[in-house]
Structure 1
Amino acid sequence: MEYGLSLLPDCDPDTASASRYFSDVLEASVLAETLGLGYVKMTEHYLSSYGGYCPSPLAFLSAVAARTRSVRLMTGGIQASFHHPVQIAAQAAQLDVLSRGRLDVGFARAFLPYEFEAFGVDLDSSRERFVATIDAVVRLWTESDVSEETPFFRYAGANSLPMPVQQPAPPVWIAALATPASFVWAAERGFNLLISSTQLTEMHRRREGIDLYRNTFLAKHGPAGRRPKVAVSIPLLIADTDDEARDVAVPLMLKSFAAFKKAILSWENVESPAYAGYTAMARQLASFDLAAEGLEAKAMVGSPDTVRGRLDEVRDVLDPDVVLWNVDFGGQSLDTMARTLTLFADKVMPAGCPGGTMLG
């Protein structure tokens, strides 16, 4: 397995200033490369403490690119429904050029009602817009004189510039969670799969979607020698002992969960056939108590030995190609992030595994 960072700012000015947050995660990104991790991923969100500090993952990753030499730069993900494909194609290709071919482009289907309302985008047609936008971006990277006529955008004879360094295109990742159609679509298109929210206590359920993705991918692209690739994102905090790790992690996880809960509760009085189950999920979350449920459902927290054991379980059940560690939850300090990363590299990753690859 390979490893990397998965960043999602869930803080606000009362928790950590934007200047402090970005200074800290940029330093953490440089440290991650130094320690042998292979990816830095950043999300995109708006208008709340859940991700709102980073409306542009490409801008953040440009800053990472300027400070690093080899780490892969992953958007996790661009919310395709809120952007024109010509903008995405050109801006992403520009970063691929600036980074000398280190960009991985992850796309996510936006899911927060207040973001759709602010952008004037219809929730019910978001799936169709998402698919059309990504297909159009790939065409702009790989074809010339591209024309599109969709309900969402139209243009004729477009030639996107600059073109990406990576040919035929940068790797594309699709964030998915539970909908079978999303796994099938990503596989049929030949895209990589990003499991953006891994419930550690429900890994066997996640495996069903991963198996569907892998089997569909191999049936369509296996004869050409292509292989599916799966990444999972998991919150991580390591300390010398389990008790110390929990003492540090609990208040941070509570802050992080509060930001997520506030965002997802925007579904309480919203219904959309394109997001079946979200309204019910919001109502369930209204009474969910993270402290009562325990950290085990949400995060990997503990001593190096404990984390190693739980990581073995993730490998056995999900068999991911890449594990992306969410180390910035709760607006934690650089010192806390650095300690987690250093302990992971020194005591969890096997010695002599370049590029963050775990043998086994």
Structure 2
Amino acid sequence: MRFGITFFPTIGPEQAAAADWYDDAVNLAVLADELGYHHVKTVEHYFFAYGGYSPDPVPLLTAIARATRRIRVATGAVIPAFNHPVQLAARLAVLDNLSRGRLDVGFGRAFLPDEFAAFQVSLDESRARFEEGVRAVERLWSEQDVVWQGTFHQFGPVTLLPRPYQDPHPPIYVATATSPASAEAAGRAGRGLQGVPAISGRHGFQDILTAYRKAWADGGHEPGEERIQISFGLFLAEDGDEARALGRTDEELYSARIAEATSAWGRARSADYPGYERLEKAGKLLHFDERLKDNQVLAGNPAEVTRQIEQLAEWYGDDVVLSFTIHSGNLPAEVSARSLRLFTERVAPAFAR
């Protein structure tokens, strides 16, 4: 089992300056690189304290790539619906070269109605734009003289420069929160999977993994080569009560941020997002102690967190990569650094092969 980190800001200028949050992110990534973590990942969100300090993962990951040596940099995820495929393919190809082939690219559909409204994109086009955008980027990376006649974009013949550093292109992941169908499509296509069990719940995420692994095999891909990244909040301290208190503080602020960002679901509806109207109440339904009991967040002393991860390995398999959300901005960066060091010293050795 391998471990990475995720940066998901849930702050705004009232809490901390953006420049300071970016400095802390780069410094934590350097520490994670030194400690041997697998990847550092960040998101694409706009306008709200919920993710809004990371409207484009590429600049931050570029800074991290140039400051580190081994750790992979990952988008989790970029949004094809909000980007022209030529521009998106080109930005990511530059990052792949600047990182010397350490890039993993997660693509997502987005789910906040206010973001779609700002880009003048219909929620009902979300899935179609996602599928067209990913395929167009993939072709731009791997082919020359590309002609694209899609529903939303038409271009060509064009040959992208620069070419990706990795041949034929960076590993592709699909981010999915609740959809076994999306996971099935990703597995059949030989793409990786990025998931968040805290959203889908244990049994829902097990269904997603089952669909993904079966489709991977049905697609004729090499057994045991599936790529799965799963995100969890991590709060670790020698004193378990201290870790849980820190986690409770951070998770309560996260709940307030997601409630603000998803409030538009009180009036928005889309066939591409069945059941998402319930997100209007999501922030009010997130209770730290229940999430901790269900292993949707990792918090405690090293022995307690070790037991939690052992349980996750039983539920989801020991071939997954756990990605720890450690830098929301609600807690001092020193707390995140302590968690990373303590995990490396006292938890990770139990899962080394």
Which TM bucket (shorter chain)? over 0.9
Q: Equivalent residue for 1:354?
A: none
Q: Equivalent residue for 1:30?
A: 30
Distance change (3 Å), C-alpha of 1:292 and 1:2: closer
The 5 A counterparts of 1:59-208 are 59-195=59-195, 197-199=196-198, 202-208=201-207
CA shift for structure 1 position 268: 0.9
Query: Which amino acid counterpart does residue 62 of structure 2 have in structure 1?
Result: S
Query: Which amino acid counterpart does residue 272 of structure 1 have in structure 2?
Result: S
Query: Which amino acid counterpart does residue 332 of structure 2 have in structure 1?
Result: S
Distance change (3 Å), C-alpha of 1:76 and 1:304: same
The secondary structure found in structure 2 opposite 1:232 is strand
Q: Equivalent residue for 1:249?
A: 247
Query: Which amino acid counterpart does residue 285 of structure 2 have in structure 1?
Result: F
CA shift for structure 1 position 226: 7.4
CA shift for structure 1 position 225: 6.3
Counterparts of 2:352 and 2:123, CA distance in 1 = 43
The alignment of Structure 1 onto Structure 2 pairs a total of residues equal to: 351
Provide TM-score, normalisation by structure 1. 0.93
CA shift for structure 1 position 295: 3.9
Q: Equivalent residue for 1:337?
A: 336
Q: Spell out, residue by residue over 1:244-279, the C-alpha distance to the aligned partner (whole angstroms, 9 max, x if none).
A: 111222112111121112112221111111110001
Q: Equivalent residue for 1:216?
A: 215
Q: Spell out, residue by residue over 1:270-305, the C-alpha distance to the aligned partner (whole angstroms, 9 max, x if none).
A: 1111110001332x4364252574544541110000
Contact 2:257 2:283 in 1 (8 A): no
Contact 2:255 2:286 in 1 (8 A): no
Provide TM-score, normalisation by structure 2. 0.95
Q: Spell out, residue by residue over 1:80-101, the C-alpha distance to the aligned partner (whole angstroms, 9 max, x if none).
A: 1100110111110111111111
Distance change (3 Å), C-alpha of 1:239 and 1:200: farther
Contact 2:81 2:129 in 1 (8 A): yes
Contact 2:43 2:75 in 1 (8 A): yes
Counterparts of 1:183 and 1:116, CA distance in 2 = 23
Tell whether 2:278 aligns with 1:280. Answer: yes
Q: Equivalent residue for 2:260?
A: 262
Contact 2:144 2:159 in 1 (8 A): yes
Distance change (3 Å), C-alpha of 1:287 and 1:72: closer
Counterparts of 2:200 and 2:194, CA distance in 1 = 18
Q: How well do the aligned residues superpose, as a CA RMSD in angstroms?
A: 1.8
Tell whether 2:346 aligns with 1:359. Answer: no
Query: Which amino acid counterpart does residue 340 of structure 2 have in structure 1?
Result: L
Query: Which amino acid counterpart does residue 312 of structure 1 have in structure 2?
Result: E
Distance change (3 Å), C-alpha of 1:72 and 1:93: same
Query: Which amino acid counterpart does residue 285 of structure 1 have in structure 2?
Result: A
CA shift for structure 1 position 25: 1.2
The secondary structure found in structure 1 opposite 2:9 is coil
Counterparts of 1:7 and 1:269, CA distance in 2 = 30
Query: Which amino acid counterpart does residue 349 of structure 1 have in structure 2?
Result: A
Contact 2:258 2:283 in 1 (8 A): no
Percent identical across equivalent pairs? 35
CA shift for structure 1 position 215: 1.0
CA shift for structure 1 position 53: 0.5
Unpaired segments of 5 or more residues in structure 1? 352-357
Q: Spell out, residue by residue over 1:210-236, the C-alpha distance to the aligned partner (whole angstroms, 9 max, x if none).
A: 0110111112133x6672111100000
The secondary structure found in structure 2 opposite 1:28 is helix
Unpaired segments of 5 or more residues in structure 2? none
Query: Which amino acid counterpart does residue 318 of structure 1 have in structure 2?
Result: Y
CA shift for structure 1 position 237: 0.6
- Higher RCO (CA 8 Å, separation ≥ 6 residues): 1
Distance change (3 Å), C-alpha of 1:86 and 1:241: same
Distance change (3 Å), C-alpha of 1:194 and 1:31: same
Tell whether 2:311 aligns with 1:313. Answer: yes
Contact 1:253 1:330 in 2 (8 A): no
Counterparts of 1:158 and 1:226, CA distance in 2 = 36
Distance change (3 Å), C-alpha of 1:286 and 1:42: closer
Counterparts of 1:188 and 1:200, CA distance in 2 = 23
Contact 1:217 1:227 in 2 (8 A): no
Contact 2:192 2:226 in 1 (8 A): yes
Counterparts of 1:67 and 1:182, CA distance in 2 = 34
CA shift for structure 1 position 16: 1.7
Counterparts of 2:309 and 2:102, CA distance in 1 = 27
Query: Which amino acid counterpart does residue 359 of structure 1 have in structure 2?
Result: A
Counterparts of 1:163 and 1:63, CA distance in 2 = 20
Counterparts of 1:2 and 1:339, CA distance in 2 = 19
Distance change (3 Å), C-alpha of 1:39 and 1:335: same
CA shift for structure 1 position 240: 0.8
Counterparts of 2:154 and 2:284, CA distance in 1 = 45
Larger deviation: 240-249 or 64-73? 240-249
Counterparts of 1:212 and 1:62, CA distance in 2 = 34
